[in-house]
Amino acid sequence: MSARDVLLQIAQVVTVMSLAPLIQGVIAQFEERIQRGRGPGVLQPYRDLWKLFHKGVVVPQTASWLFWAAPVIAFTAMLTVPLLIPVLTNYPLPLSDMGDILGGGLILTLGSFVLVLAGLDTSSAYGGIGSSRAVMVAILAEPTLIVVFVGITLLAKAMLPFVVNHLLVENWAAYWSPAHLFVVAAFFILLLVETDRMPIHSSSSFEIYMIEEARILEYSGPLLGLIRWASMMKQFILYTIFCNVLVLPWGLSVEGTGLGALGAAGGLVIKFILVAGVVVTVETAQSRLRFYRYQEPLAASFLLAVLSIISTQMS
């Protein structure tokens, strides 16, 4: 373990923390432009976090210790995953062997699970509705995510994201294989679901379709800031897995130099902008679905993941 690798691993976490609000701002700006609006600017998420961390905390009388612990646990979970995935380098860093791609998925799920419990903790009507809706979506999304990971594992014969990255960079036949294309399509649908971009979701606090916003409606001040920051980091992490592992695995630092890491961070932003443009276009083009039809896109994702596994076994 060299000092340079330790610094690079710290840089991966700092990159996720610092750039996550920027990607959120870019996506919001895309949405406004497509809807012919001007929007608040790509730096608005930074200003929102600054305001939240300088406000007081209002705690419901019915809240328990879980109300305080959930934002910290969710935020810490999002700080752990960047240690396991290729954010800046295409080779494993000192703590990358703590978990594989399935372990990273379970840590992301832990962050969502504690927020579900926090939504129920205060006995608020909105918190209960948001938590129950989140659980209903997760009942189909989580098994589908596991099947997608199984498809990736069978394709690369390994569960480490770095191995998948190397395989797709070095082997064009594997990159354009039906198994890989099915996995990409399945993961793209999951990306829409996990980042609240399905037409059954609403990121607004004023519509009855809200899921994420309903769960955290009782939060305020720094606790709400931690939750919003963790949500942006989760989105950044999922985009990183989608881009650096599955779709655009090139552009990462090979030798681990400072200049290479900076170039990888810049390349990551460009990749995210491309994917975010597609995500926002798909989200905007889709018509609003009734909530009880949430299983349709997830069923399509599950079917694509199964097709990927079948393609791998037949090749």
Interval 199-236: pLDDT, tens: 665 555 555 556 677 778 888 899 999 999 999 999 99
Query: Token pair of 150, please?
Result: 């199984």
Query: Token pair of 261, please?
Result: 């890491």
Q: What is the pLDDT of residues 239-250, one digit of tens each?
A: 999 998 889 888
Is pLDDT of 45 > 90? yes
User: Residue 240: which of 161, 182, 183 has the closest Cα?
Assistant: 161
Mean of the per-residue pLDDT values of the chain: 84
Distance between CA 148 and CA 153 in Å, rounded?
9
Distance between CA 117 and CA 138 in Å, rounded?
14
Query: Token pair of 44, please?
Result: 């608005």
pLDDT of residue 298: 81
Long-range contacts of 283-292 (CB under 8 A, 24+ apart): 283/31, 283/192, 283/197, 283/198, 283/199, 284/31, 284/34, 284/35, 286/199, 287/199, 288/199, 288/200, 288/209, 289/198, 289/199, 289/200, 290/200, 291/133, 291/200, 291/209
pTM of structure: 0.89
Q: What is the pLDDT of residues 53-99, one digit of tens each?
A: 999 888 888 888 988 999 999 999 999 988 888 888 888 888 777 77
User: Residue 150: which of 310, 315, 314 has the closest Cα?
Assistant: 310
Among positive and negative, which fits the CA dihedral 138, 165, 184, 189? positive
